[in-house]
Homo-oligomer: A and B are copies of this chain.
């Protein structure tokens, strides 16, 4: 991988240890974090440049795994004597909502994402869920990207709304779940909520609805609906949204083409990656995943929604 080759995806976000309990089981301090899920998902499609922070408790085997996925990890700061971010949570019932038990920010508390010089010309930029002031700091460092996208969460909508609105003015795509879209806009109706967010800046508003699939608002209308993949078992929904974003950005970067038509396919690749990710804990499903698996499920998505040729 040459760092000068075109169409890398630059991904900035959290690297974490996750302790997760679901009806299907439990993992303790497993590899996680938004930047990890999205980078690994994107890596199936294109080279990835990753920016994050860990403590020196972060195992070499995790770093080796990221590198084995051809992820450029030079942007991951390792803080001597620091402890890696740790999230503990659980899911119940339909697993659409995470219950947070502990959030130990650790090295993340004073994190400021600084891009290695050659990262700054990345053409595809994904700002995973972090403090929007840090997302802005990343946007200030990149030069003329072809496509920028962000994720966010309820916390930032509550306590950093102004910075988040500034991010939304500056990105092309926002990934947001239905509850966050309602919280951000005050609109219960999801079509209206998406339209309101579209007016805040992003050309493409991708509404993630968990077990109900995804919808995209663009060019002044709700233009695309992606079906959920009918899984008969979900092990762990952690990282589903990040895997979605990674698949979406990775596919687009791999083609280099940003068009309404291609972005629809990106939503389906995103859905594909999310649907695989939730089938096991941590990054375990991705560790076994092949391009053939991805293509097969993408083809399944076609058959699932087909009823008559267009």
Q: Could you say which residues of chain B place their CB within 8 Å of the CB of A6?
A: none
Q: For A213, list chain B residues within 8 Å (CB).
A: 212-213, 225, 227
A233 to B: closest C-beta gap in Å = 7
| A256–chain B nearest beta-carbon distance, Å | 18
Contacts of A268 in B (CB 8 A): 307-308
A302's nearest neighbour on chain B, judged by CB, is B310
Residue from B93, B192, B304 in contact with A188 in the complex, judged by beta carbons closer than 8 Å: B93
Q: Which of A71-95 contact B (CB under 8 A)?
A: 93-94
Chain A interface residue count, CB cutoff 8 Å, equals: 42
Question: Could you tell me if B188 and A231 are in contact, using CB atoms closer than 8 angstroms?
Answer: no
Q: Would A304 and B224 be within 8 Å (CB), given that A94-B188, A212-B209, A213-B212 are in contact?
A: yes
Q: Is the CB of B230 within 8 A of A227?
A: no
* Residues on the B chain within 8 Å of A195, using CB: 232
Q: A212-B209, A215-B230 are in contact. Are A306 and B264 (CB under 8 A)?
A: yes
A296 at the interface (CB under 8 A from B): no
Per-residue interface assignment for chain A, residues 260 to 300, with 1 indicating a CB less than 8 Å from any chain B CB and 0 otherwise: 01001101100000000000000000000000000000000
User: Given A209-B212, A213-B212, A231–B307 Cβ distance below 8 Å?
Assistant: no
20 residue pairs bridging A and B, Cβ less than 8 Å apart: A23-B188, A189-B232, A189-B233, A190-B230, A191-B230, A191-B231, A209-B212, A213-B213, A213-B225, A221-B230, A224-B304, A225-B228, A226-B305, A227-B227, A261-B307, A264-B306, A265-B308, A306-B310, A309-B309, A309-B310
The 4 closest A-B pairs by CB, nearest first: A222-B230, A225-B227, A212-B212, A264-B307
